[in-house]
Amino acid sequence: MMRGSYFQPLSWNLRLKVALGAARGLAFLHSAETKVIYRDFKTSNILLDSSYNAKLSDFGLAKDGPTGDKSHVSTRIMGTYGYATPEYLAMGHLTTKNDVYSFRVVLLEMLYGRRGVDKNHPSGEHNLVEWARPYRTSKCKFFRVLDTRLEGQYSLGGAQKVAALAFQCLLTKGRYRSNMDEVVSALEQLQDAKDTTKSTPDECKDSNQKLSSNGQRARRRS
Catalytic site residue 40? Answer: yes
SS3 assignment, position 27: helix
Burial of 119 (0-12, 13-18, 19+ CB in 10 A): exposed
Helix/strand/coil percentages in the chain, nearest 5: 50, 5, 40
The rounded distance, in Å, linking the Cα atoms of 52 and 50 is: 6
The amino acid occupying position 139 is: K
Q: Which of 20, 17, 65, 16 is nearest to 38 (CA)?
A: 65
Residue 205 to residue 208: CA distance in whole angstroms: 5
104 dihedral zone (left: phi>0; alpha: psi -120 to 50; beta) = alpha
The residue annotated as part of the active site, out of 40, 69, 147, 192, is 40
Residues carrying an active site annotation: 40
